[in-house]
Amino acid sequence: MKHSGVFDRFKMRVALIAVVALSVVMAGCAGDTAESASSEGTDVEQSAHTTVVLETVATEPPVTNTPTPSPTPVPTLTPEQRTVTVSFAGDCTLTQDYRASVNKFDSTIGDDMEYCFKNCAELFKSDDMTLINLENPVTERTSHKNNQYIFRMKPENLEMLTVAGIESVNIANNHTMDFLQEGLEDTRKNLDENEIIWSDDKNGAIFTTSRGIKIGMVGLGNDTSASQVYKIIDKLREDGAAIIIASCHFGQEGVYEPTDRQKKVAHELIDYGVDIVVGTHPHRLQPIEKYNGHYIFYSLSNFCFGGNYSLSDPDSVIIQCDFIMDGSGTKCVDYRLRIYPYSQTSTRPGNDFCPKPYAWESEEYFRVMSRLNWAQGDE
């Protein structure tokens, strides 16, 4: 028994020594493991501003019964669907001076609502949208300002626009208030009733093409600064407009070059995100400028101008712009122009209020191209 007890105590000492040794080994292993986890289990990326710690991701996904949602597909438009074509023409007064002793425009047109635009209606109908500057109130009121010229268009004559494929107008111009605020309100109402889209420096407008692409428009008068319409531009973008057009009735009458103010306003609009700037008011053609990848038409001159019976310069133009959209149709990524030199009248001298195209490569054709500072090879 005594021997056995000694032996048992010996075994206990051996076991105790083994346990202590094992503990030391395990402690050392635990230290190695912690060091390994710190150096190998975490990636650290350095940047100029912060240190980002990327935690180790488990190799096996967690068990879940929730199905993974499928991503919403982004529609991809074909090359043909990505092109939005808009036609632009200049100042149109579809009436004569209200106080004129001879109503030459009304007597020439009569009841023929197709007369004025018969030489360009097919061009306007072939596009997605046509935009002009409508330089007359549309009202039956009689109280008016005492300006040198005042214009008043018959509401029923808006059919001239609809039958010609003219879908939209700018009404921010120096004649829009000829028949005071009441005449302006009548104009807006009559345009709405005829489903003609209008915009000015207080109201933007959106036209939706047959393919669902939204074109936003805003108008500026000669005294409107670019910053005054920034909120309108913001709202058009919020409402989904993929293209923004600014119609600017600005500049100096009778001159062939833009003023410094025209350039300033146009550049500020482009810098703020407008896709294209379309100018009217000088009654003369002015150059096309490409600024930061976007086009500015400083002046398209008059197009169909009933307020002038004798034209000292009949040159005019229709410009078609292809807006090339991205694959989703939400952003314009490129532009392509086509220039159509026109005369404001079909007969010379005088004015018959029926614009017609100049003959291809005629003297008049090249004169228009020169005044626009545009060559055939530009596009």
**pLDDT tens, residue by residue, 206-223:** 999 999 999 999 999 999
Poorest-confidence range of 60-74, 105-119, 192-206, 304-318? Answer: 60-74
pLDDT score for 379: 57
Phi, psi (rounded to 5 degrees) for 304: -120, 105
Q: Read off the amino acid at residue 96.
A: Q
In this predicted model, which residue has the larger pLDDT, 16 or 368?
368
Summarize the confidence of residues 148-169 as an average pLDDT.
97
pLDDT of 43 > 80? The answer is no
pLDDT score for 80: 80
pLDDT of 56 > 80? The answer is no
Percentages helix, strand, coil for the chain, rounded to the nearest 5?
30, 25, 45
Q: Yes or no: say if 116 and 109 are a contact pair by the CB < 8 Å rule.
A: yes
Q: Read off the amino acid at residue 357.
A: P
Summarize the confidence of residues 109-131 as an average pLDDT.
98
pLDDT of 104 > 90? The answer is yes
Mean pLDDT of the chain: 85
pLDDT score for 62: 47
| DSSP bridge pairs for 299 | 286
pLDDT of 188 > 60? The answer is yes
Token pair of 63 as six digits:
């068990």
Q: At the topology level of CATH, where does 83-378 sit?
A: Purple Acid Phosphatase; chain A, domain 2 (3.60.21)
pLDDT of 41 > 50? The answer is no
Q: Yes or no: say if 370 and 358 are a contact pair by the CB < 8 Å rule.
A: no
Summarize the confidence of residues 7-20 as an average pLDDT.
43
Above pLDDT 70, what percent of the chain? 79
pLDDT score for 6: 40
pLDDT score for 76: 80
